[in-house]
Amino acid sequence: MRLRVLLLGKLRLHDDTSTQPAAGFESSKVQELFAYVLLHRRRPHTREALANLLWPESGPDQGRKYLRQTLWQLQSALEPHCPPHLPKLLIVETDWVGVNQSSDAWLDVAEFERLASGVHGIRGDDLDSPRADAARAALALYTGDLLDGWYQYWCLSERERIQNQYLGLLHKLMRFCETRSLHEEGILLGNRLLSYDRAREHAHRGIMRMLYLSGDRTAALRQYERCVAALDDELGVRPDRRTRALHEQIRSDQLELAAPASATEGTALTEIAARLRSMQMLLSDLQCGLQQEVALVERALQAGEPTPQPGAPLPA
């Protein structure tokens, strides 16, 4: 029996034998304590710090009392989901509380961040299919913003951090789809980006290109109008030069079709083969020169002559 904790969207807890919410987590303070410790699972937390976080208006003694009660409630709620032969999820000591890294509990945020880390630092254009699939799996986990409806200050900063990871994945996978001519999927991803920020100009450009390349020039032109309106409403600015140039290319029906991925990959392989042939010729020249140098030295030794300097011409 494995506890599954979902923090993306609304807080939900259940085990792998049932989709029903786990009992014992109804208290808002139990939920907040549990969510905070899980989100900061890589380090232990002193009881004093937790008490100050959850009950900032209470004195130190009262805060520690509330924390003891809440920890007892939380441990009682977790007990049915942590059989005796398995490591407990929480480590509760006299002075600190932490997450047991050996626990087999499943956390959606942890899995989301693991998948996102696999494409960190890689441009969308450079994604390969396995990494694109990992990005898709991460996006599927993002069923909503972190702890939707919570407004504690520590939650707001974590929500923004994870949301930025999500938006970055959307952008990368959108670019991957565009370079692979997966226009339908790419347009859907672009619209998901715009649902968070309708003034994201690069998303508008990507959608414009994919609409045009999929054969819908009219929709591509309408997308430009939506971009103009969004930038004016949100920022009071006009589209930048790249967006205007793209609009003109689409309007005049002069946007070049992108080469399919197979053709692009074929061109890259051709270039690599040419470089390798060039290196092979260079190595052949070096080998020939080395043989000449060896012959020069051997002839000088046989004749009892001073050894010529490397690079000198062979005697006739």
Q: What is the pLDDT of residues 79-91, one digit of tens each?
A: 887 777 788 999 9
Please give the CATH number for the structural domain made up of 109-251: 1.25.40.10
Kindly report the length of the chain: 316
What's the CA gap between 274 and 268, in Å, rounded? 10
H-type helices in 119-216, by residue range? 129-141, 153-179, 183-196, 201-213
CA-wise closest residue to 145 among 112, 171, 114: 112
The backbone torsions φ and ψ at residue 217, rounded to the nearest 5 degrees and listed phi first, read -65, -40
Query: At what angle are helices 153-179 and 28-39 packed, to 10 degrees?
Result: 50
**Taking the domain 3-104, which CATH number applies?**
1.10.10.10
Q: Where in the chain is the domain with CATH 1.25.40.10?
A: 109-251
Predicted local distance difference test score (pLDDT) of residue 262: 43
Nearest Cα to Cα of residue 244 among 222, 224, 218, 267: 224
Q: Where in the chain is the domain with CATH 1.10.10.10?
A: 3-104
Residue type, 185: E
Taking the C-alpha atoms of residue 89 and residue 78, their distance in angstroms, rounded to an integer, is 8
Provide the pLDDT for residue 17. 63
| Tokens of residue 90, six digits | 């929480």
Residue 66 contacts residue 30 (beta carbons within 8 Å): no
Highest average pLDDT, of 115-124, 287-296, 300-309, comes from: 115-124
Is residue 172 a contact partner of residue 123, using CB atoms and an 8 Å limit?
yes
Q: What six digits make up the tokens of 235? A: 């920022």
Q: With cut-offs at 50, 70 and 90, classify the pLDDT of residue 274.
A: very low
Q: Lowest mean pLDDT of 67-71, 147-151, 294-298, name the range.
A: 294-298
Rounded to 5°, angle at Cα 104 from 144 and 117: 50
Assign 236 a pLDDT band (cuts: 50, 70, 90). Answer: very high
Mean pLDDT to the nearest integer, 278-290: 53
pLDDT at 261 > cutoff 60: no
Average pLDDT over residues 158-163: 97
Q: What percent of the chain has pLDDT over 90?
A: 71
Exposed / middle / buried, residue 175 (Cβ in 10 Å: 0-12, 13-18, 19+): buried
| The two three-digit tokens of residue 155, written as one number | 């939650």
Q: At what angle do helices 217-234 and 201-213 cross, to 10 degrees?
A: 170
**Residue 243: C-alpha distances to residues 184, 205, 277, 280 (Å):** 21, 6, 41, 45
Picking from 19, 2, 13, 6, the residue whose alpha carbon sits closest to that of residue 140 is 6
Q: Is 136 helix (H, G, I), strand (E, B) or coil?
A: helix
Here the tokens at position 61 are 């003694």
- Alpha-carbon distance of 155 to 178, in angstroms, equals 34
What's the average model confidence in pLDDT over 98-102? 94
Percentage, residues of the chain above pLDDT 70: 79
Query: Using CA atoms, how far apart are residues 115 and 18, in angstroms rounded to an integer?
Result: 25
Give the bridge partners for 297, in sequence order.
none
CB within 8 Å of 121: residues ≥ 6 apart: none
